[in-house]
Amino acid sequence: MQARGNVAEPANLTFRRSFGSHLRRRPAGARRTIAGPPVMPPRPQKKYLLAPGPTPVPEEVLLAMAAPTIHHRTPEFEAVVADIRRDLQKVWQTEQDVLVLAASGTGAMEASVVNLLSPGDTALVVNAGKFGERWTKICKSYGIAVEEIVVEWGQAVDPAAIEKALRSRPEIRAVLLQGSETSTTVIHPIAEIAKLTSATETLLVVDGITSVGVADMPMDRLGIDVLLSGSQKAFMLPPGLAFVALSERAWKATERATSPRFYFDLRRERDNQRKNTTAYTPAINLMYGLRKALEMMLSEGLEALFARHAKLARATRAGAQALGLRLVAPSAPSPSATGVYVPDGVSGGDLQKYLRYGLGIEVAGGQDHLKGKILRLAHLGHVGPFDVVIGLAALELGLVHFGVDVPLGRGVGAAQAVFAEELPSLPKA
Ligand SMILES: Cc1ncc(COP(=O)(O)O)c(C=O)c1O
Residue pair 73/284 in contact by the 8 Å Cβ criterion: no
In degrees and rounded to multiples of 5, residue 98 shows phi and psi of -105, 110
Kindly report, residue by residue over 363-383, the tens digit of the pLDDT: 999 999 999 999 999 999 999
Q: Is the CB of residue 104 below 6 angstroms from any atom belonging to ligand 1?
A: yes
Which residues lie below 8 Å from residue 106, measured CB to CB, with a gap of 6+?
Answer: 134, 138, 242
User: Is residue 209 lining ligand 1, measured as CB closer than 6 Å?
Assistant: yes
So what's the pLDDT on residue 128? 98
Q: Which amino acid is at 336?
A: S
Ligand 1 center to 239 CA (angstroms): 10
Closest atom of ligand 1 to CA, residue 52:
14
pLDDT of residue 203: 98
Report which of 352, 360, 354 is spatially closest to residue 44, judged by C-alpha positions: 360
- Global pTM exceeds 0.85: yes
Predicted pLDDT at 428: 87
Domain ranges of the chain: 42-55+302-420, 59-300
Q: Alpha-carbon distance 261 to 139, whole Å?
A: 13
Amino acid 26: pLDDT: 42
Q: How many angstroms does the Cα of residue 4 sit away from the middle of ligand 1?
A: 37
The pLDDT, as a whole number, for residue 16 is: 40
**DSSP letters spanning 47-82:** -EE-SSSS----HHHHHHHTSPP--SSSHHHHHHHH
Residue 354 carries which DSSP code? I
- Residue 182, ligand 1, Cβ within 6 A: yes
CATH number 3.40.50.720 is the correct assignment for the domain at 59-300? no
- Substitution site in 157, 210, 237 for ligand 1 pocket (most atoms within 8 Å of beta carbon): 210
- Find the 313 Cα to ligand 1 centroid distance in Å: 19
Report the candidate in 260, 254, 233 with the shortest Cα–Cα distance to residue 96.
Answer: 254
By most ligand atoms within 8 Å of CB, the mutation choice from 109, 110, 130, 131 for ligand 1 is: 131
202-216 pLDDT per residue, tens: 999 999 999 999 999
Q: Using CB atoms within 10 A of its CB, is residue 66 exposed (0-12), middle (13-18) or buried (19+)? A: exposed
- Residue 321: CB within 6 Å of ligand 1? no
pLDDT of residue 36: 58
pLDDT of residue 20: 34
User: What does the alpha-carbon distance between residue 287 and residue 265 come to, in Å, rounded to a whole number?
Assistant: 20
State in Å: Cα 262 to ligand 1 middle: 22
Q: Is the minimum distance from the CB of 367 to ligand 1 under 6 angstroms?
A: no
Determine whether the shortest distance from the Cβ of 106 to ligand 1 is under 6 A: yes
pLDDT recorded at residue 12: 43
Kindly give, in sequence order, each residue whose CB lies less than 8 Å from that of residue 50, ignoring residues fewer than 6 positions away: 361, 362, 363, 377, 378, 379, 383, 387, 390, 391
Which atom of ligand 1 lies closest to the CA of 109? 4
Residue nearest to atom 2 of ligand 1 (CA): 209
Digit-by-digit pLDDT tens for the chain (429 residues) are 445 444 344 444 433 433 333 334 445 555 555 555 556 656 789 999 999 999 999 999 999 999 999 999 999 999 999 999 999 999 999 999 999 999 999 999 999 999 999 999 999 999 999 999 999 999 999 999 999 999 999 999 999 999 999 999 999 999 999 999 999 999 999 999 999 999 999 999 999 999 999 999 999 999 999 999 999 999 999 999 999 999 999 999 999 999 999 999 999 999 999 999 999 999 999 999 999 999 999 999 999 999 999 999 999 999 999 999 999 999 999 999 999 999 999 999 999 999 999 999 999 999 999 999 999 999 999 999 999 999 999 999 999 999 999 999 999 999 999 999 999 999 887
Please determine whether the domains at 42-55+302-420 and 59-300 fall in the same fold group of CATH.
no
Cβ of 231 closer than 6 Å to ligand 1, yes or no, is no
Specify the pLDDT at position 9: 41
42-55+302-420 CATH fold? Aspartate Aminotransferase, domain 1 (3.90.1150)
